[in-house]
Amino acid sequence: MATVGDNRSNMFFWPRPELPMVERGEGIHIWDSEGRRYIDASSGPQTTALGHGNQRVAEAVAAQMAKISYAFPSHFLSEPSERLAAELAAQAPFDLDRIFFCSGGSEAVEACIKLARQHAIAAGEGRRYKIVSRMPSYHGTTLGALSLTGDPAGFGPFAPMLVNQPKIPAPFCRYRPRGESEEEAALRFAGMLEAEIVEQGAETVLAFIMEPIGGAATGALTAPEAYYTRVREICDAHGVLLILDEVMSGAGRTGRFLAAEHWGVRPDLVALAKGLAAGYFPFGACLTSTRLLDVVEGGGGFNHGHTYSASPLACAVGRAVLAEHLERDLYGNAARMGALLKSRLQALAADFPFIGEVKGEGLLLGFDVVADARTGTPLPPELNANLAIVEAARKRGLIIYSRRMFAGVRGDQFLVSPPLIVTEAEIEEIVGLLREALEEFRPVTEAAIG
């Protein structure tokens, strides 16, 4: 039976039983059950955009629960979902004016995939079913989304159960051959999409999915504008839909409602989650246009849904989160604080030779840790930089986020992504603690690579 000491039953299964027990949160801080305070400088997995303990959201939940918490979406529409859809459509750029609500990022990606496929069939292009994605990338862990995720480590035992979807390299333009400009590198990487579409047979390719700003797999990787422009042109030329996975980058985290707005790249479908309900409720969305949806509806309508699709409670939370974002100008704060944080991370990169590229926009920022900052040669994997630096930070009460790429074999990526409410003083505190953690790691790299 269960052991209950320290509030641990050992009945809940999760791979990390040694983790501290969370007690409460306020603003950008979290306390554990032993009274230790942590700065949530990653917003969990880039989720808690409003920080912790937001009163308006708590009141919205209580008010909605007092009315009704759940109604089956096949039996009833609800005011919160109708209103939230209109409010989000007012924020969304381009022609994105139609929204399907679900319960998280993987579900949002699945909804995009299924809508794209039903669009192709309704448009008389039923041979299109392949979805090109990037390596490395992250699109979730349900089997459909995992098929698109560019991370062989995640495939593991599930490989034979996945649909084998084509992958092209993610555009690490910084680490390019001598003599090539960054723009030329961007076009070279975009060209790989076209080559892959042609290789697969364009008439069989349904969509290309990418994170416009990478997440954990690429440490907030972006590319020069030429990449985004060319990707859109290639998709148009071959009748391929462009799906932007903005599960992490959307809902204002980068200073705009969608990260796509930084480069003016128009998606056909967008997956959103994380910041949309800011961790106050499981929530996600698939955003598209009336133009695309009309075709699907002409073919019989969107054949998809879950028990919790468009939950009135989730949508009430989404409305309160959006109202906070807008009234407190938190997208603006993300842009301003993000610029400050990026300049501080660049200063760290100047002081620590093992920091490679500082990447990202707004408060979705990252860096990689390398042996050679010109070529991007990774550190020896046995140094476990991804774990060591996160642990050195955690000891100091600072939570950052890391991932090792390429099947966990090489490439240590870090994300620094505090809640959108972060202040200047809090940024300085985060950077001070991060500097201490990097100092602790410095002798390890010096011993290994000189």
Ligand X SMILES: Cc1ncc(COP(=O)(O)O)c(C=O)c1O
Q: Give me the residues that bind ligand X (CB under 6 A), please.
A: 45, 104-106, 109, 138-140, 211, 215, 245, 247-248, 273
Pairwise CA distance, residues 61 & 56, whole Å: 9
Pairwise CA distance, residues 298 & 336, whole Å: 44
Tokens 């992490």, residue located: 248
> 3-state DSSP call for residue 371?
strand
Tell me the CB-side half-sphere exposure of residue 370, using CA atoms within 13 A. 18
Q: How far is the CB of 328 from ligand X (least distance, A)?
A: 24
- State which residue, 281 or 441, has the beta carbon closest to ligand X: 281
- State which residue, 131 or 273, has the beta carbon closest to ligand X: 273
Burial 177-199 (b: 16+ CB within 10 A, else e): eeeeeeeebbbbbbebbbebbee
- State which residue, 417 or 445, has the beta carbon closest to ligand X: 417
Q: How far is the CB of 282 from ligand X (least distance, A)?
A: 8
Pairwise CA distance, residues 210 & 139, whole Å: 9
β-pairing, 22-26 with 29-32? antiparallel
- State which residue, 245 or 426, has the beta carbon closest to ligand X: 245
CA-to-CA separations, 96 to 153, 257, 271, 386, 422, in angstroms, rounded: 34, 12, 12, 37, 29
> 3-state DSSP call for residue 328?
coil
Tell me the CB-side half-sphere exposure of residue 242, using CA atoms within 13 A. 23
8 Å CB contact between 31 and 37: yes
Q: How far is the CB of 214 from ligand X (least distance, A)?
A: 8
Tokens 């100047």, residue located: 350
Six-digit token string for 427: 């940024």
- State which residue, 147 or 445, has the beta carbon closest to ligand X: 147
Q: How far is the CB of 127 from ligand X (least distance, A)?
A: 27
- State which residue, 245 or 368, has the beta carbon closest to ligand X: 245
Q: How far is the CB of 42 from ligand X (least distance, A)?
A: 11
Q: How far is the CB of 139 from ligand X (least distance, A)?
A: 5
Residue nearest to ligand X (CB): 105
| Helix axes of 182-200 and 225-238: crossing angle, nearest 10 degrees | 20
Q: How far is the CB of 140 from ligand X (least distance, A)?
A: 3
- State which residue, 194 or 338, has the beta carbon closest to ligand X: 338
- State which residue, 367 or 441, has the beta carbon closest to ligand X: 367
Q: How far is the CB of 133 from ligand X (least distance, A)?
A: 11
β-pairing, 205-210 with 377-378? unpaired
Q: Please state, as a whole number, how many other Cβ atoms lie within 10 Å of the Cβ of residue 430.
A: 24
Q: How far is the CB of 353 from ligand X (least distance, A)?
A: 29
- State which residue, 138 or 208, has the beta carbon closest to ligand X: 138
> 3-state DSSP call for residue 257?
coil
